[in-house]
Amino acid sequence: MTGPAPDRAKVALVTGSSSGIGKAVAERLAADGHRVVINSVRSVEEGEKVAAGLPDAVYIGADVSVEEQARNLVAQTIEHFGRLDVLVNNAGRTRAVPHADLTGASPELWREILDLNVIGTWQTTVAAMPHLTRTGAGCVVNISSIAGSRPAGSSIPYAVSKAAIEHMTRLLANTVGPEVRVNAVAPGLVETAWTQNSDFFAPIAEHVRKTAPLRRVGRPDDVAEAVAGLTRAHYTTGQVLLVDGGAHLI
């Protein structure tokens, strides 16, 4: 038995979507019928390849930590597709710094992480909001982390940035309804090229496999499934959905 044909009218912009979680989210939303904007800063060739592999997608390079580029990313999305229904704020960065290494979390690192993870999310959302509002059923999904609510994560600046994103999610949801819903997905450890090749994450992954109720670390598709669900959850806003295999229970 087949479901309804995909609605190719809706448009989703996924920042930081040339690889990893963002790529999986873009592919899932495309499979659900969205026309998709792929975005990255440096990995242009990879981003263009992702876009070329989807039914109706375009690649737009932009650094959302720069206000003008964030605005231009949204403007080009509207110029190309004529509308915007879903914004997924996935672009982010971190650096592995043990939490006890206070001097390692330099002011420069704080600014680098907060500029993209927090300010970039804010700037892109503000630029997108008039277009999301115009649809009458716009949706924002922010990508957070389990580190946003627990004393965990690759560095203290990263964890703080994710805590800020989660509270931003709640504040925006309380402000922009009923026309736009705002939610967040908070993954636990997810297998990506970066985490798989990092000595920092190897013991964490082993601990999760041994102790988390679902006995495995996450995959990008697990996060994409949660994002797709929130785009369809029309009576849900201001929520942060943990996608961690139950790791928060241990």
pTM over 0.75: yes
Active site residue 158: yes
Q: Measured at the alpha carbon of residue 65, what is the angle toward residues 110 and 149, in degrees to the nearest 5?
A: 50
Q: Which domains does the chain have, with CATH numbers?
A: 11-188+219-243 (3.40.50.720)
Sign of CA dihedral 62, 66, 69, 74: positive
Distance CA 59, CA 51 (A): 6
How many residues in the chain?
250
Selected residue with higher pLDDT from 207 and 227: 227
pLDDT band, very low/low/confident/very high, at 198 (cuts 50, 70, 90): low
To which residue do tokens 């994560």 refer? Answer: 153
Kindly name the residue from 158, 173, 181, 240 that is annotated as catalytic.
Answer: 158
Instruction: List pLDDT tens digits, range 221-237.
Output: 999 999 999 999 999 99
- The pLDDT confidence band at residue 3, using thresholds 50, 70 and 90, is very low
- Is 2's pLDDT higher than 50? no
Encode pLDDT of 173-196 as tens digits: 999 999 999 999 999 888 877 666
